């Protein structure tokens, strides 16, 4: 699963998810893409599940591009622990997505196969998404 090799600070504050994605909102590598339509956290496990689903659907044709990387640590306190005593330990890594962000791209497949593969990937994600095609306006 994806995670940073090293980070400057072990723990981060939660922050806020507002606004639209300006960076990463255009197709760069493939002909078909999966764009987020709402804010949310996508974990490294969910990204890996999407990758496996898309590569299985595409079989040996086409190429899958992952346009996101989980770089924000999420902490969790142990079960049955009393309040206080500081922040919990980092448990997993997430990517913070905003509306318009391209999450995955496909290249070298026809439209029907791309739609099927991206639908399988979208079912693994906690945010709503839509398929985007190169050359078509939104």
Task: State pTM to two decimals.
Answer: 0.93
Does the domain spanning 39-75+90-133 belong to CATH 3.50.50.60? no
In this predicted model, what pLDDT tens digit does every residue of 53-78 receive, in sequence order?
999 999 989 999 999 999 999 999 99
In this predicted model, what pLDDT tens digit does every residue of 19-43 receive, in sequence order?
999 999 999 999 999 999 999 999 9
In this predicted model, what pLDDT tens digit does every residue of 82-134 receive, in sequence order?
999 999 999 999 999 999 999 999 999 999 999 999 999 999 999 999 999 99
Q: CA-CA distance, 8 to 13, in Å (whole number)?
A: 14
- Candidates 88, 95, 82, 85; CA nearest to 1 is 95
Residue extents of the structural domains in the chain: 39-75+90-133
């Amino acid at each position: 699963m994806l995670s940073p090799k090293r980070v400057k600070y072990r723990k981060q504050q939660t922050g806020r998810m507002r606004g639209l994605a300006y960076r990463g909102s255009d197709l760069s590598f493939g002909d078909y893409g999966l764009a987020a339509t709402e804010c949310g956290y996508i974990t490294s496990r969910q990204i890996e599940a999407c990758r496996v689903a898309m590569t299985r659907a595409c079989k040996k044709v086409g190429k899958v591009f992952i346009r996101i990387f989980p770089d924000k640590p999420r902490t969790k306190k142990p079960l049955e622990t009393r309040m206080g005593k500081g922040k919990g330990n980092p448990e997993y890594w997430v990517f913070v997505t905003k509306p318009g962000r391209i999450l995955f791209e496909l290249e070298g497949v026809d439209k029907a196969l791309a739609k099927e593969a991206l639908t399988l990937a979208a079912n693994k994600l906690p945010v709503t998404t839509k398929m985007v095609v190169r050359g078509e306006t939104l």
